[in-house]
Structures are given as C-alpha cells and as structure tokens.
C-alpha cells in the first residue's frame, strides 16, 4: 500500500502501527486456532524441554566417554611409543658399544695373519742383505739371493712375543669375563636363595598358623562333642526318669483302674466326663436300648410322612407345569398376533415414508447446499 509520508501525522502513524500489530496478532491467533493438533492435544513444552535436556546430557555424556576413551588410547599409544623409543635407544647403545669394541679391540691390523695381507708390506720390508755393509753388491757377487730371509728368527721371536701378549690379554679378558659371570651367578644364586628362604619362611609360618588354627578347631570340636555327649546323657537320663514316672502314674491312674466314679461330672450330676467314661451300667444300657427303639419308630413315622409329602409336592409340580405350558402357548399366540400387527404397521409406515421422501425430493429439496456455502465459514477467528 503506497502512502504519502508528507501528509501523515503522528496519530495516523500510531493508528497504522496498531492496525499492523492487530493484524499480526490475528495471524498468530489463526495459526493457533486452525492447528487442529495443537488445539485438541496441545504441546507439553516442559516435557519437550526435559527431553531436549536429557538428550543433550546424553550427547555430552557420550562425547565425554569418547573423549576419555581417546585420551586413554592416546596415553597408551604414548606409553607404547616411549617404550619403543627406549628399546631403540638401548639397541642403539648396544650397537654403539659393539662397534666401539670392534674398532678398539678387533681392528684389521690386530689380526695374527695381518702381516701376510698387509698392502704396505713391500714398503715396510727391509733389504735382503741387511747384515752386509756393502749394499752396492750386484748379482754377480753372489752375496744377495732372492727369497732369503735374514731376520726370520728375530721376526719369529717378535711374532711369538706378540702372540703371547695377545694370548695373555685374551686370557685376562676371559678371566675377567668369567669372574664377572661367576660374580653375577653368585649374586643371582644368593638372590634366589634369599627368595626361596623367604618363601619357605612364609610357607612355614603359614603352615604353623594353619596347624594352630586346625588344633584350636580340633580342641573346640572335642569340647563341643564332649558337651554334646554329656548333654545327650543328661537328656537321656531325664527322659528315662520322666518315662518311669509316667508309667507309674498311668499304672496308678483312674483310667487303667477303670474307676466309674471319676467319670461323674462335679458340676452336673447327669453329665459324664467323656475321656474318663468306661461304659454304661446294665440299667443305663436297658434305658438306652428303649430310647433307641423309640427313636427308630419316630424315624419310620417321619419317613412315611416325608414320602407322603413328596408325592403331594410332585402332583403339585405337575399341575404347575401343566398350567405354565398352557400359559406359554397362550402367550405365543398373542405374540404371533402382535408381530403380525407390527408387520402390517411397519409396512404402512414404510409406504408413508416413501411418499414423504418422494415429496421432499421433488418439491421440498430443490435448492441443495452448494460448496460455496460451506467455504464461507472459518475465515476469521472472531
């Protein structure tokens, strides 16, 4: 909507703002009202916020678990890497020591046969006739012969001295190495012996404590068995004494002596004590037989009357059943007549309804409701 801002006043602006705000409220109200799910069921914001908080907490917990697992993995990798570096360093030190030993004690010029393979042997060799002062003697003088070795003995002596020095040095080194090995073995044996002794002492102390515990348990069990034996003997003695007293009481009681006076009740002269009663006298037995005969006659008379009464009730029941059957037949006839009347009445009503329906469809219901009639509703929230 185009507006000319040059002629608007503050009241117009306020009114426009109110209209715009009212329009926004109306749109929001439409969203709330025309949303069937929210209008009928509503939204539980507290439950949603609680679920969001729980999911966030669970997500943070899982992230913390993953972080701790990664941290622990990194620590383990660092430890393994440090161990590998340490092993590499030890290996490098061992190789350096080996190379130093080889360079120091296993050089090529220190071999026994180095003089045979020395490339500078010709440069270091002396003339053949080093003992003759006349060095200018030629071949024809027969003083110098090829292959002659004048310093053989001296060289042999020096070689033997050198070999002896080498052997002495190797013997000393082997001796020192053997002493070091023996010393290390002795220290190892002492440590093993001390460990075995400590283990043996611990085993002996444990065995001694176990034996003490077993002895204490054995003594306790012996005392308990002795007490149980004494208690069993005492109970057996008491039981025997009680049994003897009970036997004596039973032998001297009125029940075994069958005293008829003890069966008479103290409160009622005509009443007998049941557990003390030992039978009736002949007079009482004759009276009992007489009463029993009278009861039998009374029972026979009662059964005769009951049989007569049962026959009367059966005849009465047959009469009632016959009357009920007649009533039932009469009611069925009436029901059939009413059902026929109802069918005729329903047929008449059906014809009237059909006539009314044809009248409504042809005359009354000519103007039907169109779709535009229903679409004019629910356009606003007011």
3-state SS, 19-82, equals HHHHHHHHHHHHHHHCCHHHHHCCCCHHHHHHHHHHHHHHHHHHHHHHHHHHHHHHHHHHHHHH
Residue 236 lies in a domain: yes
Residues in the chain predicted with pLDDT less than 70, given as ranges, are 1-8, 36-45, 125-151, 253-266, 269, 273-279, 365-369, 379-382
Residue 225 lies in a domain: yes
Q: Which H or E run includes 157?
A: helix 152-251
**Model pLDDT, residue 39:** 61
**Model pLDDT, residue 94:** 92
Residue 222 lies in a domain: yes
Residue 353 lies in a domain: no
Domain boundaries, position 236? 168-260
CA–CA distance, 131 with 97 (Å, rounded to integer): 47
Q: Write down how long the chain is.
A: 382
Instruction: Tell me how far CA of residue 5 lies from CA of 10, 12, 60, 186, 362, in angstroms.
Output: 11, 10, 55, 112, 63
CA–CA distance, 257 with 276 (Å, rounded to integer): 11
Instruction: Tell me how far CA of residue 323 lies from CA of 12, 99, 309, 320, 334, in angstroms.
Output: 99, 135, 21, 5, 17
Residue 63 lies in a domain: no
How many structural domains is the chain composed of? Answer: 1
Residue 110 lies in a domain: no
Residue 294 lies in a domain: no
**Model pLDDT, residue 90:** 92
**Model pLDDT, residue 87:** 93
**Model pLDDT, residue 210:** 85
Residue 265 lies in a domain: no
Cα 171 to chain centroid distance, Å, stands at 69
| pLDDT tens for each residue of 167-214 | 899 899 988 888 888 888 888 888 888 888 888 888 888 888 888 888
**Model pLDDT, residue 139:** 59
Place of tokens 């082997």: 174
Q: Indicate the pTM of the whole model.
A: 0.23
**Model pLDDT, residue 1:** 42
């Amino acid at each position: 909507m185009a507006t000319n801002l040059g002629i608007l006043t503050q009241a117009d602006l306020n009114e426009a703002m109110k209209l715009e705000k009212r329009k926004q409220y109306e749109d929001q109200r439409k969203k709330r009202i025309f949303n069937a799910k929210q209008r009928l069921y509503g939204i539980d914001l507290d439950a949603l916020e609680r679920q969001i908080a729980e999911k966030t907490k669970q997500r943070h917990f899982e992230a913390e678990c993953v972080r701790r697992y990664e941290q622990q993995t990194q620590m383990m990798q660092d430890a393994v890497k440090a161990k590998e570096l340490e092993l590499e360093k030890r290996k490098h030190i061992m190789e350096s020591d080996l190379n130093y030993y080889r360079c120091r004690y296993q050089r090529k010029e220190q071999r026994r046969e180095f003089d045979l393979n020395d490339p500078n042997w010709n440069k270091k060799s002396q003339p053949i006739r080093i003992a003759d002062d006349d060095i200018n003697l030629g071949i024809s003088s027969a003083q110098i012969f090829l292959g002659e070795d004048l310093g053989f003995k001296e060289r042999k002596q020096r070689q033997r001295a050198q070999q002896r020095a080498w052997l002495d040095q190797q013997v000393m080194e082997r001796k020192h190495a053997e002493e070091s090995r023996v010393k290390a073995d002795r220290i190892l044996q002492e440590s093993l012996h001390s460990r075995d002794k400590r283990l043996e002492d611990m085993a002996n102390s444990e065995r001694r404590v176990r034996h003490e515990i077993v002895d204490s348990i054995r003594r306790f069990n012996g005392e308990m068995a002795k007490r149980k034996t004494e208690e069993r003997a005492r109970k057996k003695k008491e039981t025997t004494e009680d049994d003897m007293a009970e036997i004596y009481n039973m032998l001297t009681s009125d029940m075994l002596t069958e005293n008829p006076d003890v069966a008479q009740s103290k409160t009622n002269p005509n009443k007998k004590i049941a557990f003390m009663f030992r039978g009736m006298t002949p007079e009482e037995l004759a009276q009992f037989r007489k009463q029993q005969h009278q009861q039998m006659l009374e029972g026979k008379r009662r059964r005769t009357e009951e049989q007569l009464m049962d026959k009367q009730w059966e005849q009465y029941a047959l009469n009632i059943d016959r009357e009920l059957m007649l009533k039932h037949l009469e009611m069925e006839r009436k029901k059939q007549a009413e059902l026929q009347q109802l069918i005729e009445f329903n047929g008449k009503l059906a014809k009237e309804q059909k006539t009314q329906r044809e009248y409504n469809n042809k005359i009354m219901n000519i103007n039907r409701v169109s779709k535009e009639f229903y679409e004019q509703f629910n356009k606003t929230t007011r």
